[in-house]
Amino acid sequence: MQEHTQLTQRQINEDLLDTVLSTPRWWLPATLVAILVFLIGASAFGYMLNKGVGVTGLNRPVFWGFFMVNFVFWIGISHAGIMISAILRLTQAEWRRPVTRAAEVMTVFSLMSALMAAPLVHVGRPWRADLWVFPYDFARGIWVNIRSPFIWDPSAVMTYLTASTLFVLVCLIPDLAVIRDRTKGWVRAIYSILSLGFRGTPRQWKLQTVAGILLSALVLPVFVSVHSIVSWDFAAQIGPEAWHSTIFAPYFIIGAIHSGVSAVATLMVIMMWVFKWDKYITRDHLDSIARLLIIVATTWFFFFFLEWVFALYTLEDPEIAMRDLQVFQWPWSGMFIVFLITAYFFPVPMWLFKKVRRSLFWMFVTTIAVNIGMWLERFLIIVPGLMRRGHFIFDWGSYHPSIIEILMVAATFAWVILGMLLFTKVFPLIPLFDVKEGMVFRDEIKIGRRTIPASIRE
């Protein structure tokens, strides 16, 4: 039976603007800790700028390490926003309503983290590397090489960042009007400007509704392209074994959805637990997302299987030697086992149980496990892939991350947390108007002794 509470608009405002109109006690310490971690990472970055990339564990031949793993990881997480928001909007799934914004905001901040990880930090001297991407050097007539995946990549990520930020902002307008009406003085003046004079006419609501669907339909193909293009950073080249595979684009996408939707589930648990919004995000919602995760995880596993099968199908020695390294040689073998268990074999059987799907604790544990697994997956693709480059390579290095890299990676995590914390202080994390609309469109049908949840369709 679905839980269902009919709430008034006033009550919804009071509940969901709680963090905006007043400050919870834990908010400031949490924010300060996030700022501190971020600043430590930023200092590590400064140190690296001063000393050079030699202070990291990167070496020849393992040129890509923690930073690139993190880049792919955060791009993956960023796929959650669009997955939840766009697909569920287009399919008119009712349970999307309270979770869309949190997911979209996570998209924006994790994309920023991804940008921090690769084009800013990873290239070592960003002012040299990034200036051949943007702005163009018109003076000398030397142009970027658009045949390179490293140009496709920024074009996709920047499109995605712009699109998802605009998506969040457009959907915020009606909620900003609600805050405007609840505040006074200069704060009200700021929200008045931000809400653009929104009054809630039928025309404005119609446009909001159409915008949600239209932007979802437009952002969805962008989201698919982003991770595909990230995967081609790897797959297009024929150097490292195990990277040159046609399956990479869909494999990366489905992996990103797996880790991203898990991250949204983690976020939902946190919202229920910390903000006590369990009237809005219910255990039914957790149940729905866990069911979705079973399908997503299994599809991901199928692609993982295909990737492996066709690696072995090549019957080429370097490829098989690389697989041997991943699975049988310490410490990669240990990581491989942890990866498989945490990404699939622990969470998925757990989600088959209704009790787990409806438990805050177990959903938190399983979804965090997925992201540990998915982080390791990227690590196991990148690092062992680079360690064995073929017959005539005499540099067979290994890779150990330095403390500098670890601090910078920690900073990207701190950045996402900090971004979310700052967002909740200024904007509502659950879309008020979407929840209110759900209340208006909700109905029931009585059949005999049963009451079936129903919704109004125009």
Partner 1 sequence: MVDSRDAVQKYLIGRHLEPRGSRFFIVSIILSVLTIAGIVGFVLRFQDGFGQGDLWGYYVALFAFIFAAAGGAPMVAISTRIAKAHWPRSISRISELFSIVSLFGIILFIPMIWILPDMEDGRRTLWFFGKLNVPSNLPHILTTLGLVSLVLTGLFILWLSLMPDIRFLRDMSNTKKGSWLYNLSAGWIGSSRQWFMQRHRIGILGAFYFMTLIFVHFLIAVDFSMTLVPGWIDALYPVTQAHNSLQVGVATVVLTMFAVRYFGHYQDYLTIDQFRGLGKLMFALSLLWFWFWFSSFIVLWYGAKPSEKSVLELLMTGPYIWVFIAAFVLLFVVPLFTMIWNPLRRSIWGPTIIAGCVFIGAILDKIRIYVASYSVIDQAGLHEIEHVPSTIWPGFADILIWIGGLAGCVLVYMLATRILPVINIWEQKELKLYQVHKKFHRIEVQVLGKPE
Partner 2 sequence: MVQVLSAIMGHRSVVGLFSDEDSAADALDALQAANFESNEYEVLTGTPYPDGTFGEAEPVHKLYRFPLVGAICGFSVGLLLTVGTQLGWPMVTGGKPILSIPPMVIVMYEGTMLGAIIFTVIGIVFESRLPRLFMGAYDDSITEGAIGVAVTTSQDRVEDAEKVLNKAGAERVKRGWEKD
Residues that bind partner 1 (CB under 8 A): 1-2, 91, 94, 221, 224, 228, 232, 235-238, 244-250, 302-303, 306-307, 309-311, 313-315, 443-445, 447, 452-458
Quick check: 364 binds partner 2 (CB under 8 A)?
A: no
Quote the tokens at residue 27: 């908010």
Options 73, 198, 303, 304; binder of partner 2; rule CB under 8 A: 198
Quote the tokens at residue 47: 């140190």
User: Buried b / exposed e across 96-130, counting CB within 10 Å, b at 16+?
Assistant: bbbbbbbbbbbbbbbbbbbbbbbbbbbebeeeeee
Quote the tokens at residue 269: 């648990």
Alpha helices in 241-394 (DSSP H): 248-274, 283-313, 317-328, 332-340, 347-351, 354-357, 360-387
Residue 11 beta carbon to partner 2: minimum distance, rounded to whole angstroms: 9
By the 8 A CB rule, do 102 and 171 touch? no
Residue 249 beta carbon to partner 2: minimum distance, rounded to whole angstroms: 11
Quick check: 314 binds partner 2 (CB under 8 A)?
A: no
Options 108, 172, 177, 263; binder of partner 2; rule CB under 8 A: 177
- Specify the 3-state DSSP secondary structure of 173: helix
Residue 208 beta carbon to partner 2: minimum distance, rounded to whole angstroms: 7
- Name the residue among 201, 190, 195, 196 with its Cα closest to residue 175: 195
CA distances from 426 to 16, 161, 419 (A): 12, 20, 11
User: Residue 174 carries which side chain, given as an amino acid letter?
Assistant: P
80 Rama class: left (phi>0) / alpha (psi -120 to 50) / beta: alpha
Residue 457 beta carbon to partner 1: minimum distance, rounded to whole angstroms: 5
- Cβ contacts of 249 within 8 Å, gap of 6 or more: 227, 228, 231, 232, 235
Candidates 26-34, 213-221, 316-324, 404-412: pick the segment binding partner 2 (CB under 8 A): 213-221
Options 39, 337, 440, 454; binder of partner 2; rule CB under 8 A: 440
Residue 141 binding partner per list partner 2, partner 1, none, with a CB distance cut-off of 5 to 8 Å that depends on partner kind = partner 2
Options 39, 218, 352, 403; binder of partner 2; rule CB under 8 A: 218
Binding pattern for the stretch 107-146 against partner 2, x by CB under 8 A and - elsewhere = ----------------------------------xxxxxx
Residue 278 binding partner per list partner 2, partner 1, none, with a CB distance cut-off of 5 to 8 Å that depends on partner kind = none
Residue 142 binding partner per list partner 1, partner 2, none, with a CB distance cut-off of 5 to 8 Å that depends on partner kind = partner 2
Angle at alpha carbon of residue 191, lines to 189 and 192, rounded to 5°: 60
Tokens 């309270």 appear where? 98
Nearer to partner 1, 195 or 326 (CB): 326
Candidates 41-49, 68-76, 209-217, 390-398: pick the segment binding partner 2 (CB under 8 A): 209-217
Name the residues that contact partner 2, by CB under 8 A.
8-10, 13, 141-148, 151-152, 155-156, 158-159, 162-163, 166, 169-170, 173, 177-178, 181-182, 196-211, 214-215, 218-219, 221-222, 225, 229, 433, 436-437, 439-441, 456, 458
